[in-house]
Amino acid sequence: MPGQKKSPATPLRILFVINPKSGHGGERNLKKLISWQSETDGFDYQLIIMSGDDKERISNTINQYKPDIVAAAGGDGTINLMAGILAHTGIPLAIIPQGSANGMAKELHIQGKTESALEILVKGKTKAIDLIKINDRICIHLADVGLNARVVKRFEKDPKRGILTYARHLFGEMFLLKKYVFNISCDGKTIRRKGVSITFANASQYGTGAVINPKGILDDGKFELVIIKPFPPIKLLSITWKMFMNKLHTSDYVEIISCVKAQVISSRKTTLQVDGEVLGKVKEISIECLHKALLVKVP
């Protein structure tokens, strides 16, 4: 059975899923490091190199190989894919950050250095965390509609990082700023809010370092709706600064609501992104917390 305890004489079985298109692009070096770590820690392993539509191939390999751990080497999109496959299976997911932002790895305090991430496989601990289901799509980290979705899309394509780069893209979007009316049903209550975006937050911060949800706790059985209200352009830098200083909740233009289940209906269609992947435009969004649905390896 996947996840069951093994006798000391039986080596761990680890399945590595590698996305060669992720930010670092060091597939050959990664294979060498995995081989070295296998000899050091005494585990058996198999490799899957992603090539496109890999979900069925990965699922079949898991069923056949029956790994004790599945390690995903890639960015947040790869982590999202594996979270969907491993949810409710009892098989822990290990993250080897190889993307450009690595938001979920940072949330779990997993260092960007590959050698450090590989050490967690055997020496780390296992933690149960929540997932969010958004319109039947699994989200492990953050999703949003409106302004943030467009800014993140622009930011992730930029090789530069930090507050100034984020502010530049946010400023660029200000010329295209759209306002929405959101009808929100949350845990039996119905409210109506004007906003430029709503973030559906399981975690607290983007890989950029911008903290969108200071209340974010990965295993509390809740997620947050972070509503950014319409704001005057003069407040742009103030809001950006508060995000990077973990003080967004102090802004007059931000409202944060904790939920277990919610439905959001927008006055018009708006861009939806989930874990860094833009899924298109939607008008209705259903969100539900899946409490402790996934096991992850952490330091």
Across 17-32, average pLDDT: 79
Residue 221 to residue 6: CA distance in whole angstroms = 30
Across 140-161, average pLDDT: 73
User: Six-digit token pair at 293?
Assistant: 């649905």
pLDDT of residue 172: 60
Across 185-213, average pLDDT: 90
Residue 143 to residue 285: CA distance in whole angstroms = 11
Instruction: Give every CB contact of residue 71 below 8 A, 6+ residues apart in sequence.
Output: 14, 15, 16, 17, 93, 94, 95, 96, 121
Ranges of H-type helices in 87-211 = 103-107, 114-123, 147-156, 163-174
| Better pLDDT: 161 or 90 | 90
Average pLDDT, the chain: 87
pLDDT of residue 27: 73
Give me the long-range contacts of 215-220 (CB less than 8 A, separation at least 24). 215/249, 215/256, 215/258, 216/107, 218/107, 218/108, 218/129, 218/130, 219/127, 219/128, 219/129, 219/130, 219/291, 219/292, 220/130
Domain boundaries along the sequence of the chain: 13-123, 137-291
Residue 105 to residue 276: CA distance in whole angstroms = 14
**Predicted confidence (pLDDT) at residue 113 exceeds the cutoff of 80:** yes
The letter for the amino acid at 264 is: V
User: Six-digit token pair at 277?
Assistant: 């992947």
Report percent pLDDT > 90 for the chain.
Answer: 60
**Predicted confidence (pLDDT) at residue 253 exceeds the cutoff of 90:** yes
**Predicted confidence (pLDDT) at residue 167 exceeds the cutoff of 80:** no
**Predicted confidence (pLDDT) at residue 233 exceeds the cutoff of 90:** no
The answer to whether 82 and 55 have CB atoms below 8 angstroms apart is no
Task: Tell me which CATH code domain 13-123 carries.
Answer: 3.40.50.10330
| Better pLDDT: 266 or 162 | 266
The pTM of this model reads: 0.86
Across 130-152, average pLDDT: 87
The answer to whether 226 and 213 have CB atoms below 8 angstroms apart is yes
Residue 142 to residue 224: CA distance in whole angstroms = 10
The answer to whether 70 and 63 have CB atoms below 8 angstroms apart is no
Across 164-186, average pLDDT: 75
Instruction: Give every CB contact of residue 214 below 8 A, 6+ residues apart in sequence.
Output: 204, 246, 247, 248, 249, 256
The answer to whether 122 and 94 have CB atoms below 8 angstroms apart is no
The answer to whether 96 and 122 have CB atoms below 8 angstroms apart is no
pLDDT of residue 295: 98
pLDDT of residue 1: 45
Tell me how far apart the terminal alpha carbons of the chain are, to the nearest angstrom. Answer: 25
The DSSP symbol for 160 reads -
Instruction: Let me know the angle formed at the C-alpha of 223 by 197 and 121, rounded to the nearest 5 degrees.
Output: 115
Lowest mean pLDDT across 81-85, 165-169, 228-232, 267-271: 165-169
Topology (CATH level 3) of domain 137-291: Tumour Suppressor Smad4 (2.60.200)
pLDDT-derived band at 157, boundaries 50, 70, 90: low
pLDDT of residue 241: 87
**Predicted confidence (pLDDT) at residue 78 exceeds the cutoff of 70:** yes
User: Six-digit token pair at 21?
Assistant: 């298109």
